[in-house]
Amino acid sequence: MSCRFLVAGLFLAVLATSPAAPAAGQTRDGAPEGWTAPRTPWGDPDLQGQWNSQTSTPLERPLEGRLSETDTLSPEEAQAIEAANREAFDLPPREGSVGNYNAFWRDVGTALTRTSLIVDPPDGRIPPLSAEGEARIAAERAERSRRGPATSPDTYSDLSQWTRCISRGWNGIGSWYSSNYQIFQAPGYVVVYQELIHEPRIIPLDGRPHAHESIRQWLGDSRGRWEGDTLVVETTNFTPKTNFRGSRDALHLTERYTRLDDDTLDYRFTIDDPHTFQRPWTVVRPMNRITDRVSIFEYACHEGNYAMEGILAGARAEERER
C-alpha cells in the first residue's frame, strides 16, 4: 500500500503550491460575470479535466459543538476549521499508534461555509433508517457479533473491499487523501475515473436502458443525460456486497455535475433507497481543478500490501491473550 501513499504525497506537494479555492463559490450561482461554460468539439458541456473534492466539512452536521448551532459559517470560520483539521494530523500519535500518517499525506482541502455536506434534509443529517433497514442492519450486526468483536476480524471477508484492494466502490464523499477524479468525454459517453483503486465508470448518454437487473456491479450501472449544462447520471444495479451508509443493492443514485467556472464543478448526489432510509437525502460538494501538469498516479494497492496478513494475525494474537 505504500505506493498509494506516495501518490497522495505527490498530489499534496503540487496542490500546496496552488492557490486555495475560495470558501464561496459553492453554489450554482457563483459563475463569474460574463463567463460561458466551455463546450466540446461536438457541442456538449465540457467537464473534462482532473478534479479534487477534499474538504473538512463533515458529511453530517454534528450534534454538539459550534457546527451544531448553525447551518452556515463565515469564510473565516470555515478556513480556521480547515486549517485546524489539517494541523490535527501532525499531533503526536495516540497511544498504541505508530503515527504513520501526518498532514503530508492529506490532500489540500476546500473550506466550505456550510456545516454539513448534506443539504437535504435541512437538518444536515442522514435520515433515520426505515423499519426494513433497521431490521436488516440489526440482523447483520447480530450475525457478526457471534464471531467476536467488530474490531477483531474473523476472516478476510470481515474486512472491507477497499482494504482487500478489490474495489473502493462508488463513494461520492471522497477520502482524506487521493480524493482525485479525472473526467473524459467522447461523443455519446462520459468517463469518471477515480484515483482510489483506479476504477472508471463509463457512462453512456444515448438513452439506452439499464442492464438487466441480474447484472450487478461494484460501481453500479450508470446512464447519463444532459439537462441544460448539467450532466445527470442515474446509477442502479449495485452488487449486494455494496455498503454505502447501510445501503445495499437497492441503492438508486442520482448525480449532477455542473461547471461553475474554469476551475470548479458543482457536484451533488441524491441517495434514494426506501429499503434502508425513511426518505432520500442529498449531498453537495465542490470539485476543484487540479492543474500544473499533475496526473492521476498509479494506485498500487496490492504491491507490498501486508495489511491483510497483519490485521488477521493481530486479531488472532489478541484472542490468544484473552
| Cα distances (angstroms) measured from residue 122 to each of 24, 70, 74, 97, 115 | 20, 11, 19, 38, 11
Convert the pLDDT of each residue in 249-285 to its tens digit. 999 999 999 999 999 999 999 999 999 999 999 999 9
- Residue 280: what residue type? P
SS3 63: coil
- Residue 156: what residue type? Y
- Residue 317: what residue type? A
Task: State the pLDDT at residue 29.
Answer: 53
Residues with pLDDT less than 50, the chain: 1-27
**Antiparallel, parallel or unpaired: β 118-120 and 189-194:** unpaired
SS3 72: strand
How many Å from the N-terminal Cα to the C-terminal Cα in the chain?
Answer: 30
pTM of the model: 0.85
Convert the pLDDT of each residue in 178-212 to its tens digit. 888 999 999 999 999 998 888 999 999 999 999 99
Task: State the pLDDT at residue 190.
Answer: 98
Under DSSP, the state recorded for 183 is E
Integer Cα distance of 305 and 170 in angstroms: 22
C-alpha cell read off for 218: 461494484
Residue whose C-alpha cell reads 468539439 in the numeric block:
41
Under DSSP, the state recorded for 221 is E
Integer Cα distance of 241 and 165 in angstroms: 14
Cα Rg of the chain (Å, integer):
21
Q: How many residues does the chain have?
A: 322
Under DSSP, the state recorded for 280 is -
C-alpha cell read off for 191: 468517463
Contact 21, 264 (CB under 8 A): yes
